Amino acid sequence: MGPSVAETGSVTTPREKFWKRNHHLLLLAPGIVWMVLFLVVPLAMMVYVSFWTQTTFAISSDLTLASWQAFFASDTYVGALLRTLRIWLTVLVVTFVIGYPTALFIGQFVRNKTTQTILLVACVIPFWTSFLIRVLAWRPMLGREGAVNIVLENLGLISEPIDALLFTELSVVIGMTQIYVVFMVGPIAFMLARIDGSLIEAARDLGASSWTIFRKIIFPLSLPGVVVGAIFVSVMVLGEFATASALSGRKVNLLGNIIVTQVGSLKWAFAAVIGVVLTAVMAVVITALLRVVDLRREI
Amino acid sequence: MPILRGVLGSYTALFLVFLYAPFIVMGIISFQSGPEGGPQFPIIEWSTYWYEHVLGFAPPSRVAPLPIGEALLRSLTLAFATMLVSTVLGTLTASAFRRRFRGSGVVFYLVVLGMMVPGVLLGLGMALVAREVGIQPTWWGTAFLLHVVYTYPFAFLVMLAIFNRFDPAVEEAAWALGVPPGRTFRKITFPMIFPGVLSAMLFAFTLSYDEFPRTLFTGGSDVTMPIAIYGTFAVEIHPNLFAFGVLTTLFSFALLSVYGILMAASVRKARRVTGVQEDIA
């Protein structure tokens, strides 16, 4: 900031000086207090409670590792952890593979700003329907007599309806992909649209093929978008439980689903252990992704 | 290149079909005949029964009505309060970031963490804290606190982007001309950041209105709309949900249109302010 009136003109007392130098602290205080009390404290509480003693009917604050041992000794829990990781990776890869070409088209091939905006808005419009209703809308899509089977049968591509579409891991992946793919497309398209056109022209003048241009210029420059998209998708998929319970008929249990069940039966310590495991997974994933790109620089 | 363009264009069209398909199916099935028609194909007979059901005009049947009155009112109240508080917090924090200060990185990630932590984890943590402190979880208490934790980072990022493009010289000119800070804020700063404030408000409102993992353990016994819908997951679903989905989508569009109009008006106003400056210069 440039010199202000107080510094150049009138006399300032030490109190005013202190105030001038530190008034940003006052602006920051409410936000910091809110986040520490209602974000950091609850998360710390979760870690603390994960060491409490859980019996069938009660929980006490005597510290023990029993819940942790129970988690890693149980096939159900470890299985859920592996399943969560598997579905997260699948959805991440699928959203990238499906989303990138769309982002490439919107960001690089549509040069008209208005058309670009219209296409992006078209991608976002489905989000104005409640998340849970969007999840439920996949049931009439994927069922034995669902829209997908009807269309495929009418096209003559299949003679028998496909059963595996609903209440399987596949339906969970399909549902999550449709719900979260836009979070991949948006950031990538945004980065692609920012690429200076003369860079590509120069490369072409120097005789680079389209593939080389894509590999050496377009893709590396879109990478921050990919990372931001990957962060969005990872954060949302890792904490998911609603899509899994609605589209798998409660057959596919993710860590999130197990937390909900444990809380439902007042097994707070077990729920907390799973919560901490999930937090750890998230932290590793996000930190790894942030190593590739500095999020703060991209805003 | 033109071939590639064509291929990618058709691909994008297919992609949009994929995005919209469940949405269209939802619209079709909301016109299923009632009260015996289920949420699946084929359509037995087209009717507006499920719309009447949602709005409470249909005769009582075995399908429980959606708690439109109370739950919806709670959701809207919660979203409105969340919107106000998180926009104010976001604007305050972002305006502190207009100058460099020590520890800004820590504060940045502390705030952004609020949108990164999965809702179910925060919900669990807050439920544990409430249990320990001995307070009853309520939608206007514990759930509200978490809604702000979730939407405040969005408001902060939006305002940060706005302030990054903000020219402080205009404000300084006003101060140099002896305009008091309060008046400068009202007449100069606020109109210039208003589009950002609107976006932050829209973000916060829509995110909070549709938020359920954070509300599930912290909302108490009075349900908000998303929790009421989540409750139907455990039982049979009926086309009334889809009719409700169609209606709320229309409502969202209305909201979005209001936002668009306000946005256009404020952009025009901001242009007028800078236009006046150019005249003086």
Q: Summarize the confidence of residues B75-90 as an average pLDDT.
A: 96
Q: Summarize the confidence of residues A113-134 as an average pLDDT.
A: 86
Give the nearest partner residue to B149 out of A39, A147, A278, using CB atoms. Answer: A39
Q: Is the pLDDT of residue A299 over 60?
A: no
Neighbouring C-alpha atoms within 13 Å toward the C-beta of A240: 32
Q: Quick one: pLDDT at residue B185?
A: 84
On whether any CB of chain A is under 8 Å from the CB of B175, the answer is yes
Instruction: Please judge whether A138 and B22 are an interchain contact, meaning their C-beta atoms are less than 8 angstroms apart.
Output: yes
In this predicted model, what pLDDT tens digit does every residue of B127-140 receive, in sequence order? 999 999 999 999 99
Dist. CA A113–CA A127, nearest whole Å: 22
Instruction: Please judge whether B160 and A299 are an interchain contact, meaning their C-beta atoms are less than 8 angstroms apart.
Output: yes
In this predicted model, what pLDDT tens digit does every residue of B54-77 receive, in sequence order? 888 878 777 788 888 889 999 999
ipTM: 0.86
- Confidence class of residue A295 from pLDDT cuts 50, 70 and 90? low
Give the nearest partner residue to A102 out of B5, B12, B242, using CB atoms. Answer: B12
Instruction: Please judge whether A28 and B92 are an interchain contact, meaning their C-beta atoms are less than 8 angstroms apart.
Output: yes
Dist. CA B93–CA A25, nearest whole Å: 9
In this predicted model, what pLDDT tens digit does every residue of A6-41 receive, in sequence order? 444 455 677 777 777 777 888 999 999 999 999 999
Q: Please, which residues 219-248 of chain B have a Cβ atom closer than 8 Å to chain A?
A: 225-226, 229-230, 232-233, 237, 241-242, 244-245, 248
Measured between CA atoms, the residue of chain B closest to residue A44 is: B125
Tell me what percent of the residues of chain A surpass a pLDDT of 70.
94
Sole residue written with tokens 């495929």 = A152
List the single best residue of B41, B128, B256 to mutate versus A (max A Cβ within 10 A). B128
In the structure encoding, which two tokens stand for residue A45, read together? 């509480």
Instruction: Please judge whether B113 and A137 are an interchain contact, meaning their C-beta atoms are less than 8 angstroms apart.
Output: no
Q: Quick one: pLDDT at residue A19?
A: 72
Global confidence as pTM: 0.87
Instruction: Please judge whether B242 and A41 are an interchain contact, meaning their C-beta atoms are less than 8 angstroms apart.
Output: no
Instruction: Please judge whether B19 and A279 are an interchain contact, meaning their C-beta atoms are less than 8 angstroms apart.
Output: no
CB A229 within 8 A of CB A96: yes
List the single best residue of B18, B26, B124, B224 to mutate versus A (max A Cβ within 10 A). B124
For residue B47, give the amino acid letter.
Answer: S
CB A54 within 8 A of CB A67: yes
Give the nearest partner residue to B175 out of A4, A49, A106, using CB atoms. Answer: A4
List the single best residue of A7, A21, A104, A136 to mutate versus B (max B Cβ within 10 A). A136
Dist. CA A153–CA A284, nearest whole Å: 45
Q: How many helices (H) and strands (E) does chain B have?
A: 12, 0
Neighbouring C-alpha atoms within 13 Å toward the C-beta of A156: 0
Q: Summarize the confidence of residues A216-233 as an average pLDDT.
A: 91
The secondary structure of residue B235, as a DSSP letter, is: S
In this predicted model, what pLDDT tens digit does every residue of B192-240 receive, in sequence order? 888 889 889 988 998 999 899 999 999 988 999 999 988 888 778 888 8
- Confidence class of residue A5 from pLDDT cuts 50, 70 and 90? very low
- Confidence class of residue A142 from pLDDT cuts 50, 70 and 90? confident
Which phi and psi angles does A59 have, rounded to 5°? -135, 140
Q: Is the pLDDT of residue B142 over 50?
A: yes
In this predicted model, what pLDDT tens digit does every residue of A166-214 receive, in sequence order? 888 999 999 999 999 999 999 999 999 888 888 988 998 998 888 999 9
Dist. CA B152–CA B93, nearest whole Å: 10
In the structure encoding, which two tokens stand for residue A136, read together? 């439920």
List the single best residue of A84, A97, A133 to mutate versus B (max B Cβ within 10 A). A133
Instruction: Please judge whether B128 and A49 are an interchain contact, meaning their C-beta atoms are less than 8 angstroms apart.
Output: yes
